[in-house]
Structure 1
Amino acid sequence: MAKNKFHDGPGPSQRQLRVGELIRRTLSDVLMRGDIHDPDLNRMSITVGEVTVSPDLKVATAYVVPLGGKGQEDVCQLLARNKAELRRAISKDMTLKYSPDLRFRLDETFDRLDETRRLFSQENVRRDLDD
């Protein structure tokens, strides 16, 4: 069963949220500038929607989606293939004791939003909401 980024129990700490956002911004900048030496990866425009960090800050999971949705099946493999170089680029810009191990997952949030919009646009759902 696939792990979901939404889980039960206590939420992430303020430090996890701060580090996750810092990694998200840094990873987005690195990918936007094309700092990675992989022409396949540099051809893609990738959106980093969220980065979650483990409580010990040693594992960071980046939820990514290619711009326009094209290449979804390749994006996580390309990023994983360049994980070491991405990790070095991120650690260079950050002041953490340890550079977290990077993992990449497809961000399905946008798909869920589209599905929610589609459901709300159905006549029977709109009628129920108006009542």
Structure 2
Amino acid sequence: MAKSRFDTGAGPSQRQLRVGEAVRHAIAEILARGEVMDEVIASHVITVPEVRMSPDLKLATVFVMPLGGQDAEPVLAALERNRRFLRGELARRINLKFAPDVRFRLDESFDEARRIDTLLQSDKVRRDIARPQGADDNDDDEA
């Protein structure tokens, strides 16, 4: 099977990361300043924790989360309605050959972090982490 020219397997390139961060800052600034004329977006504080760029830099996947995680679906729908405006603003703010097409996804990393914290606080994990009863605190003095 032939490898695709975009399939490096090593993760995103430095350029993808740099452009993704520039797009994230621009989107966050647009949302923070209230430049999008939409009631749903104006009534929520929206966090933009990550932007992933495609290898050709023509597609930006913007991960968003409304503050507190409430009304996530209406916020995503409002961002989708205004994506043409947001793409135009990106084109003005970021110096790229092509303005990337923007798609919005709900950021689930907060839920994953909460799930891991819950697992770490469970009795099974605490029992495994606990110091064995036979261990002596004076082991360091013998060396």
- The two structures have a TM-score, normalised by structure 2, of 0.83
- Which residue matches 1:30? 30
Q: What are the equivalent positions in structure 2 for 1:9-28 lying under 5 Å apart?
A: 9-28=9-28
**What does 1:48-63 align with in structure 2 at a 5 Å threshold?**
48-63=48-63
Gaps of 5+ in 1: 1-7
Q: CA deviation at 1:10?
A: 2.1
Q: Contact 2:40/2:75 (CA < 8 Å) preserved in 1?
A: no
How far apart are 1:126 and its partner, in Å? 1.2
The question of 1:43 aligning with 2:43 is answered yes
Q: Which amino acid counterpart does residue 106 of structure 2 have in structure 1?
A: L
Higher Rg: 2
Give 3-state SS (helix, strand or coil) of 2:64's partner.
strand
Percent identity over the alignment? Answer: 47
Stretch deviating more after TM superposition (8-17 or 73-82): 8-17
C-alpha deviation, 1:58, in angstroms = 0.2
* Structure 1 residue matching 2:24: 3-state secondary structure: helix
**TM alignment of 1:1-131, pairs within 5 A:** 9-131=9-131
Query: Structure 2 counterpart of 1:95, which letter?
Result: N
Shift of 1:36: 0.8
Q: Secondary structure at the match of 1:48?
A: strand
C-alpha separation in 1, matches of 2:94 and 2:88: 10
Aligned to 1:5: none
Q: CA RMSD in A?
A: 1.3
Following superposition, the deviation at residue 83 of structure 1 comes to 0.2
Amino acid at match of 2:102: L
Secondary structure in 2 matching 1:34: coil
Aligned residues: 124
Alignment-mate amino acid for residue 97 of structure 2: K
Whole-Å separation in 2 of the counterparts to 1:27 and 1:100: 12
Output the amino acid matched with 1:26: A
Paired amino acid for 2:35 = D
Post-superposition shift, 1:127? 1.2
Aligned residue type for 2:27: L
Write the distance in 2 (CA, Å) between the matches of 1:78 and 1:129. 46
1:14-46 Cα offsets, whole Å, 9 max, x none, are: 000000000001100100101011122111111
Query: Residue by residue, what CA displacement relative to the aligned partner does 1:66-114 show, whole Å, maximum 9, x if unpaired?
Result: 0111111222211111001111112111111110000000000000001
TM-score by length of 1: 0.90
